[in-house]
Amino acid sequence: MCERCESNKAKVSLQMEETSMYLCTHCYNDLMAEELEIDLEPLPETFSMKDYKGVNRTFCVDRRIHPNGIFLEAEENIEFGYKFAVHGELDSNQQELLNKLIEKARKGTGEQQVETRVFPSGQAYHAMISDQLTGLIEYDETSDGTPLVILDGQPFTWEEVGKMLMTYEGFQIKLNLYDPTDDIE
């Protein structure tokens, strides 16, 4: 539990000289805003939007204030769902930063990347729609050291991604990794 408000789950371990404190995100942000002399603008805790299939997706908004800026993250309220993040300067307009996050989520949920197809034998398989994939790497506690890849808001194992890539046998591949706050074009 948060050592400051004693009501929320602690998510941040703050180290200050010889002491440490465990804080919830709200108390941490309040403390950092006071220390950095910035105002915290009110922001919604959630927002919803429809994805490329018309399915309603709900995101929880998390704001973190750090000396190098304001970070906003939208994480879908399901395990292994969509996740988006943006970063702004300490003096940035927080509502504009939220709008940027919502637009990033709208763009990310608006395009299908993987579809299920069926072999003539009736066996289903996953296939890439275009020649690229954009997703997230997530920890997979059920595997032996290989992560999951989140595509279209769904988890895929490395084996499943590998099977999708077999269509491209003999092709060249380029793998780029980006910070969650970066815009990928």
In the chain, where the domains are located: 38-109, 114-168
Mean model confidence pLDDT for the chain:
93
Contact criterion met (CB below 8 Å) for 112 and 162: no
Q: Which residue has the tokens 């990310």?
A: 108
Residue 6 CA to residue 4 CA, distance in Å, equals 6
Span 45-53, average pLDDT: 96
Give per-residue pLDDT as tens, 120-175.
999 999 999 998 899 999 998 888 889 999 999 999 999 999 999 998 999 999 88
- Predicted TM-score (pTM) above 0.95: no
Over the range 59-86, which residues count as b (16 or more CB within 10 Å of their CB) and which as e? bebbbbbeeebbbbbbebeeebbbbbbb
Q: Locate tokens 């299939």: which residue? A: 53
CB 165 within 8 A of CB 157: no
Q: Residue 185's pLDDT is what?
A: 76
What is the pLDDT at residue 94? 96
Q: How many residues does the chain have?
A: 185
pLDDT of 7 strictly over 90: no
